[in-house]
Amino acid sequence: MAASAPISPTIYFGAFVHSTSLIELELSDKGAIGVDSNGVIAFVERDVENVEDVKGKYDEFKEARVVEVKDGFFFPGFIDTHTHAPQHPNTGLFGKTTLLSWLQTYTFPMESSFSDMQKAERIYSNFVSRTLSHGTTTCAYYATIHVPATNLLADICLARGQRALVGRVCMDSDLSPETYRDASPESAIADSKESLSYIRSIDPTGTIVQPIITPRFAPSCTAPVLASLGHLARETDAHIQTHISENVGEIALVAQLFPSSTSYTDVYDTAGLLTSKTILAHAVHLAKEEVDTIKARGAKISHCPASNTAITSGCCPVRKYLNAGLTIGLGTDVSGGFSPSILEECRQAIWVSRFLAMQGADSAKLSTEEVLYLATRGGAAVVGMESKVGAFEVGMEWDAQMIVLGNVDERGSRDGAFEGLVDVFGWEDLGERVQKWVYSGDDRNTKMVWVRGRLVHSRA
Amino acid sequence: MAASAPISPTIYFGAFVHSTSLIELELSDKGAIGVDSNGVIAFVERDVENVEDVKGKYDEFKEARVVEVKDGFFFPGFIDTHTHAPQHPNTGLFGKTTLLSWLQTYTFPMESSFSDMQKAERIYSNFVSRTLSHGTTTCAYYATIHVPATNLLADICLARGQRALVGRVCMDSDLSPETYRDASPESAIADSKESLSYIRSIDPTGTIVQPIITPRFAPSCTAPVLASLGHLARETDAHIQTHISENVGEIALVAQLFPSSTSYTDVYDTAGLLTSKTILAHAVHLAKEEVDTIKARGAKISHCPASNTAITSGCCPVRKYLNAGLTIGLGTDVSGGFSPSILEECRQAIWVSRFLAMQGADSAKLSTEEVLYLATRGGAAVVGMESKVGAFEVGMEWDAQMIVLGNVDERGSRDGAFEGLVDVFGWEDLGERVQKWVYSGDDRNTKMVWVRGRLVHSRA
């Protein structure tokens, strides 16, 4: 269905759960959420015994379709604030490497092959299916340096109806192999502009897909290219994404490559790349002055715990950043991260916070409520959509997933058709069901996914 | 099928993978493993192009059934060296608690309800189905203090054909609520003996189910009961399982409760509970002298990383223990651990090892090969079955799983019927497919599971 075609007004009936603040979930057992023909939430009712009563209250909804959730709840769609679509086939392949060796061994060879459009279509189609199936309604994608393949990724997201920020990767320095880097500073900028223009042309309002300026990370770019990208961002008011301070070896490399900069953050700030539309992935090892600068510029953080653990980058001090007032979302960072699931990333954020707690920072622990906030409202703020998505409030758009859990019958068997890992015995309240989903759930529990009220994924 | 009935000789044909040492996997693309009518591996052939050639070589296998694996490989069944079956319904429910508060809030109330045999049957049936579906062919179970429910768990394992060590939990101290503890030292021992005798009566050879003496952990038991259990273990030559040194608060409590002991390990050693048939779960914070004593007694370690992370117990220094020569397997420790999957536990062991590496102990990192060893041969040694299960060697028994991965077609779609998360694009070698399975796999990839050559689980 075209992403802009009008839809039938629909009432989503049954339990719903969403974040009302960093530390609080609203758990509504008997909800009714009305979504109008534009995909916008027109009303949110609680304690509804009979959906017909609600229909009567709202003119536009007198004949509304009703979608009821049973044995589960509606939850906002997840927002993945950082991932690399072309690296999907490398998922799980990292051995004992760390960032810089991993790039050379696994990543650059795979990405360079995206000059092959057939391969790009195969992998991007597969990956977008995967992220949707995990309930990701908005995703910030790194593509590769190739303009045609990057544009194709944007086409796929638009066709499938997934909100996406799609970035052609800019990398002109000789850190990368000759076979996989921008040929010159000029071509780097020209190609970035070309992809940006194309993506804006296919979705002029930017409702579903938007371009994002994407310097890979400081060591991959020369200073002139970083400055030109900063200029381009100002000129076009575009989003920016890059990596920062992921790994101590990388930080040392940046200091060596940019001797006049006072910090990694300063490299980007000097280039004009720190704006309120900038997504900084990782940010594991920031100094206090860097946190202050990022805060002052209004730039955002994408926390990628699975990746940081898998390639041994470090434990991002999320609590410290939250206390400093930074805006934070979650990123799967495939294939440094080993899963395209934000639900898995929620768990990984909990583990990282516990490892920090075990090192003495007890306050570091993130609760289930907090990671679900980061996965939804936090992520929405990172991509600049906090007024549109991430929660169920009147005026927001219906980017949502229907979560269904499994019932264990009296003999201890699972319901015939249901295949997921979450076992509900019947005595759990809605809050406990949410906890079980967070710790044991997977894509099997995500039965349906909507963006702007349009169904973009469903499971048989 | 009765666990002792003879079976048709069968050749398992296709790729197989198993550990040949802690650091090495054998990756055989074209294998043929013959399993005789007793479930014992009669031959292991490599580089087999045509299974008919193999049939001709072995008299007993001339008419053998052939089970072929396509798009995957055979792998040894997993061995879960520590889990709590009655806690299954609490999976995912721990909030921000740590060990001692978690016991009082979640665990004791659930376990105490296993006086209700209907509830016990429902939950135990469900949990054994779950562990089998994750490829666990041998499992060391804690039950509860209730003799009837404990015996029922053994009955279920025997009926389903899962190898199990089943332990009635012994806990007579006043750490536990009055409503859930052994009434007296005498009844504690009598009940333990009763359950032990029952389990030996239903499987006199102990081929499938065996009893295991189970003092919950030192703080739950009085010194006389610990000593009596040590005596009982000697008398009956039974396995023993307990917890040790999981959490710093717990260690302080043990020091306070057992002032004459020199360490937590010494409490068990004094009671005669440290034998070569003892499984010590957790062992996160052992002092060097404790490691030496455990080594000297030949006691074994069950490493439970998911649990240790979830309830913030600490990072078990597995590398240090391996270097000291301890025998180690993996345990899911449901519901401190949030998953009954040993594959998930493999990942969690990798994460914990990486967190130790990030704190400076780079050598702590465990490889994929190493965690798969712990999950199979390591676990087999922990439960005293290292000559019978854990690998594919002539004379061992066929405790195995058929792992099937998903192929991505040329258009980027997954094969129609296949639902798992592992995406294979076709260029990955067997070693890379194993890596993908370890990092992205789940129960959907475990298509069939056998114990002693008998099919104990299969997916449609």
Interchain CB distance below 8 Å, A93 and B432: yes
Closest C-alpha to B139, from B195, B193, B85: B85
pLDDT at B415: 58
Q: Kindly state whether residues A68 and A97 are assigned to the same domain.
A: no
Interchain CB distance below 8 Å, B442 and A421: yes
Q: pLDDT tens digits, residue range A147-192? A: 999 999 999 999 999 999 999 999 999 999 999 999 999 999 999 9
Interchain CB distance below 8 Å, B89 and A425: yes
Q: Considering B315, B350, B382, which residue would you say is the last residue of a domain?
A: B382
Q: Kindly state whether residues A208 and A109 are assigned to the same domain.
A: yes
Q: Is the pLDDT of residue A232 over 70?
A: yes
CA distance B337 to chain A (A): 10
Closest C-alpha to B328, from B273, B382, B390: B382
% of chain A with per-residue pLDDT over 70: 98
Q: pLDDT tens digits, residue range B444-460? A: 999 999 999 999 999 97
Residue B1's pLDDT band, with cuts at 50, 70 and 90, is very low
pLDDT at A96: 63
Q: Closest to A312 (Cβ–Cβ): which among B338, B357, B410?
A: B357
B chain contacts of residue A420, beta-carbon cutoff 8 Å = none
pLDDT at B416: 56
A chain contacts of residue B305, beta-carbon cutoff 8 Å = none
pLDDT at B115: 98
Q: How many CA atoms lie within 13 A of B149 on its CB side?
A: 25
Q: Which helix (H) or strand (E) holds B271?
A: none
Q: Check if the beta carbon of residue B366 is closer than 8 Å to that of residue B334.
A: no
Q: Considering A382, A417, A447, which residue would you say is the last residue of a domain?
A: A382
Q: Among all residues of chain A, which has the CA nearest to that of B306?
A: A351
pLDDT at B101: 86
Q: How far is CA B443 from CA B74, B140, B307, in A?
A: 14, 20, 20
Give the integer Cα–Cα distance in Å for B171 and B159.
28
Look up residue A452 and give its DSSP letter.
T
Task: Copy the structure tokens of residue B179.
Answer: 């409503």
Tell whether A408 is covered by a domain: yes
Q: Which residue has the higher pLDDT, B360 or B31?
A: B31
- Residue A268: what are its φ and ψ, rounded to 5°? -70, -40
Q: Closest to A436 (Cβ–Cβ): which among B91, B118, B438?
A: B91
Q: Is the pLDDT of residue A1 over 50?
A: no
B chain contacts of residue A349, beta-carbon cutoff 8 Å = none
pLDDT at B271: 98
Tell whether A3 is covered by a domain: no
Q: Kindly state whether residues A375 and A399 are assigned to the same domain.
A: no
A chain contacts of residue B338, beta-carbon cutoff 8 Å = 439-440
Q: pLDDT tens digits, residue range B91-118? A: 988 766 778 888 888 899 999 999 999 9
What does pLDDT average to over chain B?
A: 95
Query: How would you label B242-253 residue by residue, b for 16+ Cβ within 10 Å and e otherwise?
Result: bbbbbbeebbeb
Q: Check if the beta carbon of residue B126 is closer than 8 Å to that of residue B151.
A: no
Q: pLDDT tens digits, residue range A85-109? A: 999 999 988 766 778 888 888 899 9
Q: Check if the beta carbon of residue A14 is closer than 8 Å to that of residue A73.
A: yes
Q: pLDDT tens digits, residue range B267-277? A: 999 999 999 99
Q: Check if the beta carbon of residue A249 is closer than 8 Å to that of residue A287.
A: no
Tell whether A1 is covered by a domain: no
pLDDT at A24: 97
What does pLDDT average to over chain A?
A: 95
Give the integer Cα–Cα distance in Å for B80 and A102.
32
> Residue B454: which CATH number?
2.30.40.10
Q: Closest to A440 (Cβ–Cβ): which among B339, B354, B412?
A: B339
Tell whether A187 is covered by a domain: yes
Q: Kindly state whether residues A322 and A427 are assigned to the same domain.
A: no
Closest C-alpha to A444, from A413, A404, A401, A407: A404
Tell whether A440 is covered by a domain: yes
Q: Kindly state whether residues B126 and B150 are assigned to the same domain.
A: yes
Interchain CB distance below 8 Å, A421 and B440: no
What's the mean pLDDT in A419-440? 94
Tell whether B1 is covered by a domain: no
Give the integer Cα–Cα distance in Å for A266 and B103.
49
What's the mean pLDDT in A336-365? 95
CB atoms closer than 10 angstroms to residue B427: 7
B chain contacts of residue A85, beta-carbon cutoff 8 Å = none
Interchain CB distance below 8 Å, B423 and A121: no
Residue B417's pLDDT band, with cuts at 50, 70 and 90, is low
> Residue A118: which CATH number?
3.20.20.140
Distance in angstroms between the alpha carbons of the first and the last residue of chain B: 19
Number of separate domains in chain A: 2
Q: Considering A335, A358, A382, which residue would you say is the last residue of a domain?
A: A382
Q: pLDDT tens digits, residue range A22-60? A: 999 999 999 999 999 999 999 999 999 999 999 999 999
Q: How far is CA B278 from CA B180, B285, B287, in A?
A: 25, 18, 18
Q: Omega of the bond prior to A335 within 30 degrees of 0, cis?
A: yes
**Which burial class, exposed, middle or buried, applies to A429 when counting CB atoms under 10 A from its CB (0-12, 13-18, 19+)?**
exposed
The separation between CA B61 and the C-alpha centre of its own chain, rounded to angstroms, equals: 32
Give the integer Cα–Cα distance in Å for A313 and A336.
10
Q: Kindly state whether residues A428 and A322 are assigned to the same domain.
A: no
Q: pLDDT tens digits, residue range B56-97? A: 999 999 999 999 999 999 999 999 999 999 999 999 887 667
pLDDT at B180: 96
What DSSP string describes A95-135? TT--HHHHIIIIIHHHHHGGG-HHHHHHHHHHHHHHHHHTT
Q: Kindly state whether residues B202 and B309 are assigned to the same domain.
A: yes
Q: Kindly state whether residues A139 and A246 are assigned to the same domain.
A: yes
- Residue A41: what are its φ and ψ, rounded to 5°? -70, 115
CA distance A148 to chain B (A): 17
pLDDT at A417: 57
Tell whether B339 is covered by a domain: yes
Q: Among all residues of chain B, which has the CA nearest to that of A415?
A: B126
Task: Copy the structure tokens of residue B224.
Answer: 């006389």
Q: Kindly state whether residues B66 and B84 are assigned to the same domain.
A: no
Q: Kindly state whether residues B260 and B198 are assigned to the same domain.
A: yes
Q: Is the pLDDT of residue A123 over 50?
A: yes
Look up residue A177 and give its DSSP letter.
-
Tell whether B68 is covered by a domain: yes
Interchain CB distance below 8 Å, A122 and B432: no
Q: Kindly state whether residues A69 and A83 are assigned to the same domain.
A: no
B chain contacts of residue A435, beta-carbon cutoff 8 Å = 92-93, 95
Residue B345: strand, helix, or coil:
helix
Range of the domain at A165: 78-382
ipTM field: 0.96
Q: pLDDT tens digits, residue range B285-332? A: 999 999 999 999 999 999 999 999 998 999 999 999 999 999 999 999
Q: How far is CA A184 from CA A113, A147, A149, A170, in A?
A: 19, 15, 19, 10
Q: Among all residues of chain B, which has the CA nearest to that of A122?
A: B412
Q: Kindly state whether residues A86 and A64 are assigned to the same domain.
A: no
B chain contacts of residue A413, beta-carbon cutoff 8 Å = 125-126, 129
Find the range with the poorest average confidence among A87-96, B37-46, B201-210. Answer: A87-96
Interchain CB distance below 8 Å, B93 and A359: no
